[in-house]
Chain A
Amino acid sequence: MPRFELNDPDLVVIVGSGAGGGTMANELTRRGLKVVLFEAGKRQSLATFSQNPGEAFGQLTWLEPRTQSGTWDPVKTSPTLPAWHCRTVGGTTVHWTAATPRLQPYEVRARSVYGDIPGASLADWPIDYAELKRWYQAAEMRLGVTRRNGNPGMPASNNFKVMYAGARRLGYKRVHTNYLAINSRARDGRGLCIQQGFCAQGCKTGAKWSTLYTEIPRAEASGKLDLRSECFVTRIEHDDAGRATGVVYRDSAGVEQRQRARIVCVAGNAIETARLLLLSESGRFKGGLANGSDQVGRNYCHHVLSFVFGIFDQPVSFWRGAVLAGVVEDENIHDPRRGFAGGYHLELAMLDLPTLPLIGLPYGWGRDFSSVIDNYRNMAGMLMNGEDMPRPDNRITLSASRKDAYGLPVAHIHCDPHANDVAMRAHAIGQGRKIYEAVGAKRTVVSPMTPATHQMGTARMSHDPGQGVTNAYGRAHEVPNLFISDGSVQTTAGAANPTLTIVALVLRQAEHIGREVAVGRL
């Protein structure tokens, strides 16, 4: 692997190696560009993934402190971990559960379709759905999504049999083993899913798509990638004309370095991307780089997430099998008669025993709590994943009280759920309970809002430089060679797990960058 010079004038710097950054590295090196890819975490491999859930959590998770406020559940139930994502080469694609639904046409026109919802900062996406769909198809080819392009669906697990029988009894029609970026057959040089149930600990067969063992090695093979893991970017610098000139970072020894760049792509996820832009404020960019709109960090979306568990008289053994291999799609519609705008998925889900009490039941104690765990063998599980309303004050700011190891303020997360989120959650939980009760559940249990696993919206796309941070290509309105290459650019959240959308937008953005470079505009 090459090591490019710190003052090389011809490099693209990418910050973050997950779905956005890792894919971008492959796309740009494939087009002949030289790339330095920064990743704060360490590099693991199929061989080093721990299969002890607690150890794996420590190995992969972003554990640097964060502060939080607001009325959302994690303030109480997960005070030290408001968001659960990764800090490792491959980013959150190492622990994701690989559900890859598309956003629906109504969801990218949320403001027009839902109307003016008080307290929500809804907007329409600046991209036509037909255009987005073309890139979804490209992303689905890349990721090998099941039930698309001739890839077989995943076989039904015990947990899905329960969901399926209950959902069909309720009259739901679109119920299947989900669209998954997991090989149901060996393909693309990777093995098939052997139904371990360890998606979130790092997939040891590599059946699950992760940039760690797909996009990044391909970029390395091009001879044009300089991957710098355990290097943490602390600032993006610019020149007098307002163009990004490079990044300041701490290398793996903690020493401050300065990497020159021709183009900078930020893909640190919507929390750290916003933090980096805010940390990069300057005399010219007061209040944060590319933040003349004051939209950096605002409109933070994380999806409405709650587990529903059913307890039965007979065993389910729900820890066996691909974690999210099931979905009810029928509620992914806009139907205000339900009492809220937007929609949700009910996705199959389970939690391993060590994680269940921490994420699924983080509130209780005593007999009521322990009697749930006593029934671990007989539990079925699902996770609702719904569109949350963007709100200007649900935002990422720089913490006033906590600093990281380098003395920089950590990210502060403020979230107050919108009344629409609350109504949607109540509806989804009710439907989830009914699904299990329809097949004889003796008890149903729900979790609070889990730590956020989907980060979106903090550098949203808009045609209007006053309303958004980037244009429709994720290019900063105010800094022409700065791109946002992760879920931060989502104008609204929709109900789709964000990775497929991130990859689709990055494939599109990479083509845009390639074109602009070719004609000499970048």
Chain B
Amino acid sequence: MNTRATHSDSPQNADRRTFVRGVGVLSGVIALGHPLAALLPSRAWAVELRVLSSVDAAALLAMIRTVAPHDTLDDAAYALVVNAIDADAAGSTAARADLAAGIASLGAGFARMPEAARVVHLKAIESGAFFQAVRVKTLMVLYSNPIAWAHFGYEGEAFSKGGYLVRGFNDLKWLPDVPPADSGPMPFG
């Protein structure tokens, strides 16, 4: 993990409950060994937030990491979830208020708690609307991007590469092949 929460407002004066457009930024650097590191123009990433302060964004990111903990999955993937929640909240005053109240309920210092303490904290609110909204958004966003796909090995779109017919749909070797009577021939040769 290599993520910074940057304050674009003055921390001394910032009221974390007051949401001002463009207050927060989440940024980080994708690890050198990451499969995407070679593909991207830069390993540095940053997500500009419309609603959340940087402190709140860091708390939310910690919550998302507790909901779906993959130790070696880069923060850049988790930041996409923060970004999506932030964008949703920008849509209405009520949504901003709900999000603010939800993050407030995590308490100060949540992001710095050890995981076991964060789990205890979240267990207490897991049936509530805030937790469930964040959980569902996490499931929807965290696994739907190329960073996660590269991490978990999912190969994504296959049509442009000719499918998997000659690229490993049947390359499993640790079990015997299926007899022809119960399967079928390859469609060539």
Q: Which residues of A contact B (CB under 8 A)?
A: 51-54, 146-147, 152-158, 160-162, 164-165, 175-177, 184-185, 192-198, 204-205, 314-317, 319-321, 352-354, 356-358, 362, 365-367, 369-370, 373-374, 376-377, 439
> Which 8 A/B pairs are nearest by Cβ-Cβ distance?
A194-B163, A153-B184, A353-B154, A320-B164, A158-B172, A156-B178, A156-B183, A321-B169
- Which of A165, A315, A354, A362 sits near B144, CB closer than 8 Å? A354
Q: What is the bound-complex CA distance between A192 and B162, given in angstroms? A: 11
Which chain A residues border B148 with CB–CB below 8 Å?
353
Q: What 0/1 pattern do residues 106 to 140 of B give for CB contact below 8 A with A? A: 00000000000001001000100000000100111
Residues A165 and B183 in contact in the complex (CB < 8 Å), given A194-B162, A198-B158, A205-B159: no
Given contacts A162-B172, A373-B152, 17 further A-B contacts (CB under 8 A): A54-B144, A158-B172, A165-B176, A194-B165, A197-B158, A197-B164, A315-B153, A317-B171, A317-B172, A319-B154, A321-B164, A353-B143, A353-B154, A365-B66, A365-B68, A365-B138, A377-B152
Within 8 A of A (CB), among B52-90: 66-70
The interface residues of chain B lying within 8 Å CB-to-CB of A192 are: 187
Chain A residues near B153 (CB, 8 Å)?
A: 315, 317, 376-377
Distance in Å from the Cβ of B20 to the closest Cβ of chain A?
31
Among A54, A162, A354, residue most surrounded by chain B Cβ atoms (within 10 Å): A354
B33 within 8 A of partner (CB): no
Determine the chain B residues whose CB is within 8 A of the CB of A52 once the complex forms: 144, 156-157
Question: What are some 7 contacts across the A-B interface (CB < 8 A)?
Answer: A158-B172, A176-B181, A193-B165, A195-B165, A365-B66, A370-B68, A370-B69
Q: Give the total of B residues in contact with A, Cβ under 8 Å.
A: 47
Report if B185 contacts A (CB, 8 A): yes
Residues in A whose Cβ lies below 8 Å from that of B184: 146-147, 152-156, 177, 184
Summed over the interface, the residue pairs from A and B with CB atoms below 8 Å come to a total of 159
Closest residue of chain A to B171, judged by CB?
A158
Point out the residues of chain A lying under 8 angstroms from B177, CB to CB: 156, 161
Which of B122, B164, B172 counts the most A-chain CB atoms under 10 A from its CB? B172
Contact A366-B149, Cβ < 8 Å, known A158-B170, A194-B162, A354-B144: no
Q: How far is the CA of A170 from the CA of B164 in the complex (A)?
A: 29
Complexed CA–CA distance, A196 and B158 (Å): 6
Instruction: Write out the residue numbers on chain A whose beta carbons fall within 8 Å of the beta carbon of B139.
Output: 357-358, 362
Q: Does more than half of chain A's interface fall in helix, strand or loop, or is it mixed?
A: loop
With known contacts A196-B158, A204-B159, A358-B140, A164–B164 Cβ distance under 8 A: no
Known A370-B69, A439-B175; contact A157-B170, beta-carbon cutoff 8 A: yes
Select A51's contact among B68, B122, B159, beta carbons within 8 Å. Answer: B159
Q: Is the CB of A196 within 8 A of B70?
A: no
Note all chain A residues with C-beta closer than 8 A to B168: 158, 317, 320
Chain B residues with CB under 8 A of A205: 159, 163
- B158 A316 Cβ-Cβ under 8 A: no
Our pick among A158, A319, A366, A373 for the contact of B143 (Cβ within 8 Å) is: A373
B164 touches A196 (CB 8 A): yes
Task: List A contacts of B140 (CB < 8 A).
Answer: 54, 354, 358
The residue of chain A having its C-beta at the shortest distance from the C-beta of B162 within the complex is A194
Contacts of A147 in B (CB 8 A): 184
Q: Collect the chain A residues with CB atoms within 8 Å of residue B159's CB.
A: 51, 194, 196, 198, 204-205
Q: A51-B157, A177-B183 are in contact. Are A374 and B70 (CB under 8 A)?
A: yes
Docked-complex contact A376 and B152, CB < 8 angstroms:
yes
Docked Cα-Cα span, A369 to B165, in Å, equals: 31
CA–CA, A51 and B160, complex, Å: 10
**Smallest CB-CB separation from A321: which chain B residue?**
B169
Question: Does the CB pair A195–B182 fall under 8 Å?
Answer: no
Q: Give the CA-CA distance A176 to B178 in the complex, in Å.
A: 9
A205–B70 CA distance with the chains assembled, in angstroms: 36
Asked if B39 CB lies within 8 Å of chain A CBs, one says no
Assembly CA distance A436 to B140 (angstroms): 28
Asked, given contacts A158-B172, A184-B184, whether A369 binds B70 with beta carbons under 8 Å apart, the answer is no
